[in-house]
Structure 1
Amino acid sequence: MLLTDWNHILDNILPDESNEAVISDIFVRFLINALGFNQQEQISQFKTVKPGNRTVDFAARKNVDSDIFTLSKINPYLLIEVKARATGSGAKINLSEGTPQYINTREQIKRYLLDSNCTTSQWGIITNSVHIQLFRRHGKVVFPATPSILIKKDNINAIVSNVKNLIYNPPKALTVCVYNNKGGVGKTTTTVNLAATLAQQGKQVLVIDFDPQQGDLTKSLGLEVREISLYDCLSDRDLDIHDTIQPFIVKFKSGQLLKFDVIPADSKLGNFTEQDLATRIEKGSARLKDVLKSLVYEYDYIFIDCPTNWMFFSQSSLYACDAVLIPTKHNNLASLDNAAKVIKELVPKVKAARQDGGPIALPIFFNGENITPPQLKIANQEIVAIITKEIKASKFNLLPYFYPKYIKDDTNTKIFSLPSYAIVAGAAFARIPAAFKDSTAAKYYLELAKEYFIL
């Protein structure tokens, strides 16, 4: 698509009050072609569920040999949801982030990407030719791959080029930071057992212990830092991050081998003050994301375990991740308050600094405690109070993060709960994750992985 073509479309063809059909015919079809999909590789009004009538405005994928997408109508790769520029009454439709119209459209594309007829879809776009945003799907997680961008004549070519590069060169990994701004919620146990569980499912997994002062994850696996450490790679751009990685392998009596990779905690990092780290590490808390760039094309999942305090290590971890998984305790009200702080304050702060759409917060879960009905009632009362207070104070809606199954027509307040189990605590002494060591623990953590990550 030539620059003059886009100028002509944006300046002369699209009226300010263009409806959805006009946007589709004049803007979106050109966009799909510019992204490299020919007429036989795109379908309008694609059914996202079968049976059912739910449809996304456009779906696209490359043809493979004799499998012509317009004929087979299966295995879409890219979905596009189109909105008008204005309503029938002339009111502008605003797809800038945070507006009600944006939130509704974002949730719409997420539903489509997770629908039964779209399990092969990896990308989604929302646009009304004024704003455009690209979303990525990894398993059950849908998250922004770009911010919602205001389209202008001088940036449309760069937008198309960036989206095209992303959808044809997708990162393999989902990078997850396991974090709560409150200690004692089982972050390390969650991290190591999710890694073990996903490895059992045949996934390539890397775990990063970015808590140099405690290093509990590294100790629990009986590992030590290699000659080249994570600090070395953060401070020296000429070093290779691959040299820090150690395999953790468990061989079972049956002869089966299970493994995941680990970047151990580097105690040298714990010797520096925040000011020292800012001086010694170029780009500060943004540096870890750069260091991991090559690894996101090699692993299916990268998990980062970091300390509780909102300082360099936790800031770096959130900056480097796609999604934040937030363990809480139902009987620790401070953990619920601090989970809310992560969601409404810390994640948006990092998102504003990154300017690339990420990261996102995943819904909370209760981690490793037996819950009685009276205890659950108290926890829910606290959660409702937190949600209500935040709506009144800032209009930030915490409801989807605490009660993800709650919708207008279904007031489901179920929160995923990982039950208490003794083998989880004792596994550290065996230097083997509980999910590798015990079938019941493995079952629990597989349920957690299915709840958040795998289909």
Structure 2
Amino acid sequence: ETCAAVVEQHFVQPLLSVLGFSDRDRLSFFDTGAGIADVAARFPRENQPPFCQTQVDPDLIVEIKTPARRSRNTPTQTVALNLDSRSTHQSRALQQLRQLLSGCHCQRTTWGLITNARHLQLFQRHGHLVYPATPNYELTGDRLEGIIEDLKTCLQSRPRAITLCLYNHKGGVGKTTTTINLGATLAVANAAVLLIDCDPQGDLSRALELTPTNTTLASCLQNPEEPITATIRPFHLRIRTSSSIQSAHIFDVIPAAPDLQSILIQAMQTQNPPITRLRECLLPLRDRYDYILIDCPSAWLFLSKSAVYASDAVLIPTRHTDLSSLNNAAQVIHQFLFGEIHTLRREGGPLPLPIFFNGAPTTDKAMAVAQAEIERILQKLPHLTPYFWPQYQANDTSVFAIPEYAIISRAAFARVPAVFKDKRVLGFYQTLVQTYLQPLT
């Protein structure tokens, strides 16, 4: 009997029973369409056959790792396999889990779990993205009951929205433009979208001609009694027809207000400002939208830290003609996310997405200079390779790029997302969505 089989029999199957999965709604060696998952399970459903008969779209798949393996050098000895956060084994297991969840038999599967009976972590999927839903628990007898309750809470209350922050520790890389056009592109695909202007300069709000309500984002951050729903304004697109001008709702926005600057100054004067507050504020909105996109200032201060802490994933625009934006992207991932926010969040979130080049003229020489700079960065920080060259294992060092088009800049003066002014621009952002988030239907 293999170690993995022992873990499944004596740990995973009893755990699934406690979590509410019946015997007939669990399968071993489940074919996801992109590989074999060790275990798959689906909650019982009224008036539907059990999962063992349908064998498609489980609620949860489980990737089992053995607690130890035999040493290559000394076959009589075993080597413990470490599933601690960001360990090599944990990273490989997560990569396998993402691959399995991409299978055609898991199109509606939301949850993935990795365990070796010593560690356990639950992950959530939203489109292409798979990100942490719980801390990476170290399993001990006195904590097991609390861990099971945490798992039950997650599995029974999946949030509808994914929260995505647009951030780089460098100005002028198109964070605001990307937030607006990404939001509009998702809305075109019938997603319910909320944009949050977390920058005191208010560029996003100004570009959409939206002013704050009497209840502001800053007041919600300061006072838990203030309802976050009262900050929301709808953005409508005016459509001119031959006989009239009609209005179409595109997405909702929480505009910036001047008091954001005041709260930023107050936070700078406080030793430990509460960067967890924005994440708590957004909880009531996570079942109202499909996507929550946060545009925040470049400086790594209270508002940006709050936005990143509140997010499930971070999208990092860069410019290949601006080498400092590449180095700052590395700093965001290595220092700010891995070194600071992940420590505070404990569960390994938010997920950094691969960088992309945003709106700069593309020449072979400029691209060669950028790729050489990326190579220098990765020589110092090789663990960042998947975030700069996501296809590196296939010998592909390409970086996704949105070309420079004047219409993207001009659209801001018309107070209209550029994707509504030019079909080519819409195509660029649809490709961005398909590459990083999910296929558009």
Q: Shorter-chain TM-score: what band?
A: over 0.9
What secondary structure is seen at the aligned counterpart in 2 of 1:121? coil
Q: Residues 46 and 256 from structure 1, CA distance in 2 versus in 1: closer, same or farther, beyond 3 angstroms?
A: farther
Paired residue for 1:270, among 261, 285, 300?
A: 261
Paired residue for 1:172, among 160, 164, 171?
A: 160
Which TM-score applies when normalising by structure 1? 0.90
Instruction: Report what 2:218 is aligned to.
Output: 231
Q: Map 1:91-130 to 2 at 5 A.
A: 91-130=79-118
In structure 1, distance between residues paired with 2:412 and 2:216: 23
Paired residue for 2:372, among 370, 381, 393?
A: 381
What secondary structure is seen at the aligned counterpart in 2 of 1:195? helix
Instruction: Report what 2:204 is aligned to.
Output: 217
In structure 2, distance between residues paired with 1:423 and 1:322: 31
Answer yes or no: is the 8 Å Cα contact 2:169–2:298 preserved in 1: yes
The runs of 5 or more residues in structure 1 that have no matched partner are: 1-16, 392-396
Instruction: Report what 2:48 is aligned to.
Output: 66
Q: Residues 319 and 278 from structure 1, CA distance in 2 versus in 1: closer, same or farther, beyond 3 angstroms?
A: farther
Residue 417 (structure 1) aligned with residue 401 (structure 2): yes
Show CA shifts across 1:381-436 (max 9, x none). Answer: 11011000224xxxxx11100011111xx201111110111111011111111112
Residue-pair matches, total? 427
Answer yes or no: is the 8 Å Cα contact 2:62–2:112 preserved in 1: yes
What secondary structure is seen at the aligned counterpart in 2 of 1:183? coil
Instruction: Report what 2:147 is aligned to.
Output: 159
Residue 22 (structure 1) aligned with residue 6 (structure 2): yes
Cα shift at 1:438: 2.3
Answer yes or no: is the 8 Å Cα contact 1:199–1:258 preserved in 2: no
What secondary structure is seen at the aligned counterpart in 1 of 2:165? strand
Cα shift at 1:282: 9.6
Specify the code of the residue in structure 2 equivalent to 1:55: I
Paired residue for 1:347, among 313, 317, 337?
A: 337
Residue 432 (structure 1) aligned with residue 416 (structure 2): yes
Instruction: Report what 1:334 is aligned to.
Output: 324
Which TM-score applies when normalising by structure 2? 0.93
Instruction: Report what 2:228 is aligned to.
Output: 241
Show CA shifts across 1:286-343 (max 9, x none). Answer: 1111111111121100010001011111111111111110000011100000000001
Paired residue for 1:317, among 307, 316, 320?
A: 307
Residue 46 (structure 1) aligned with residue 30 (structure 2): yes
Cα shift at 1:81: 0.6
In structure 2, distance between residues paired with 1:245 and 1:273: 21
Cα shift at 1:376: 1.2
Cα shift at 1:253: 4.0
Answer yes or no: is the 8 Å Cα contact 1:85–1:128 preserved in 2: yes
Cα shift at 1:66: 2.7
Answer yes or no: is the 8 Å Cα contact 2:264–2:303 preserved in 1: no
Cα shift at 1:116: 2.5
Instruction: Report what 2:188 is aligned to.
Output: 200
Residue 406 (structure 1) aligned with residue 392 (structure 2): yes
Bigger shift: residues 157-166 or 435-444: 435-444
Q: Which runs of 4+ in 1 moved over 6 A?
A: none
In structure 2, distance between residues paired with 1:104 and 1:445: 30
Paired residue for 2:355, among 364, 371, 383?
A: 364
Answer yes or no: is the 8 Å Cα contact 1:235–1:282 preserved in 2: no
In structure 2, distance between residues paired with 1:55 and 1:436: 43
Cα shift at 1:344: 0.5
